[in-house]
Amino acid sequence: MSLTDVGARVPFTRGDPFFQTTPDAFDAHVKAFARKLGDLPVSFVSVRPLPEAETGFCHRNVAECVDLYGGHCVTGYAFWKSRLFIIAEAHSVWATPTGQLIDPTPAAEGETRICFALDPSLVDAFNKSRPPPNRAMSIVDKADPAAVAQEIGRLSPARLEYEKRRANRAGLDIETHIANKIGRTALSIAVDEFIVASEARDLLVTQTLTRVLSHDRAAFRNAQLKVCRLEDRIRQLLARSEGETPNIVASVDPLADVRTNSEGGATARAPGFDGLIAALLDPSFDVVAVDLASSGPKVLYAGNLEDDAPPQPL
């Protein structure tokens, strides 16, 4: 089945809750994710891009290093952390002849080091037509910390000791134990649903440096709509918890977990842009007339060259 262009890779900007970059340290979240992936060893690896190396082509860049300087390829995951989750992206780095690990692939946001989890089992996966899918883990509190503290404060000394013993038997601290009893927050549920929806969406796409292709345009659109609705839901919940008015812009094109350099800042989408993209990508139209107004593009009509009747307005 042929691939169809379904949209552009749209980055998140620094400060956005979905923006991802290298974790600052081997914190509890990084360690927990490494355990979840199979007790993988984690280290920081310096980024030293090869001349003309391209982001997103790590395996090819490493192979070039091996051809030029010797050494060998090491596979694993690059960890990227946002305010909401950690993503493990299948990645390869170069082991020099002396055994030092170096990443010859330029990082999307210009990071000078990556957080790398070694996983030799990915060697075979890199040799397949599709790279291994991303893995993700929510880092949002499962329960409201304030509610947990309040619940602990209500316990009598005797009951507190009892709950501590129960927590200890389960290998948990008292806060986590009480949080499990209280139940999950709406934000925690939404982030987990967002991760599941993003993983399902990603199975439908093949990404290039700037575009997103899919073998099933309709299925992709439905999957992307679900991702975008969950993204909007998360933004609303975050704004509500911070006492702000959410600024939600509906969209069906951006890929939620795409990492593309965003130093230039966010570009606001003009009204009518989605309609323009849809018309230009629709194979049933040969002619698309567009009004490039200062307020944004507007599709005036679309039709076919062989039609006797004039193109119909959209």
Q: What is the pLDDT of residues 90-114, one digit of tens each?
A: 999 999 999 999 999 999 888 999 9
Indicate whether 167 pLDDT > 60. yes
User: Confidence class of residue 211 from pLDDT cuts 50, 70 and 90?
Assistant: low
pLDDT for residue 244: 61
The per-residue pLDDT for range 284-304, each reduced to its tens digit, is 555 555 555 444 455 455 555
Q: Which residue has the higher pLDDT, 89 or 284?
A: 89
- Could you give the count of Cα atoms lying within 13 Å of 196 in the half-sphere of its Cβ? 6
pLDDT for residue 250: 42
- Could you give the count of Cα atoms lying within 13 Å of 175 in the half-sphere of its Cβ? 8
Find the Cα–Cα–Cα–Cα dihedral 89, 212, 13, 197, rounded to 10°.
-60
- Alpha carbons 12 and 111: distance in angstroms, whole number: 15
- Alpha carbons 93 and 80: distance in angstroms, whole number: 15
Q: Which residue has the higher pLDDT, 271 or 39?
A: 39
Indicate whether 196 pLDDT > 70. yes
pLDDT for residue 307: 46
Q: CA triplet 96, 102, 106: central angle to 5 degrees?
A: 135
Whole-structure pTM value: 0.68
Indicate whether 137 pLDDT > 90. yes
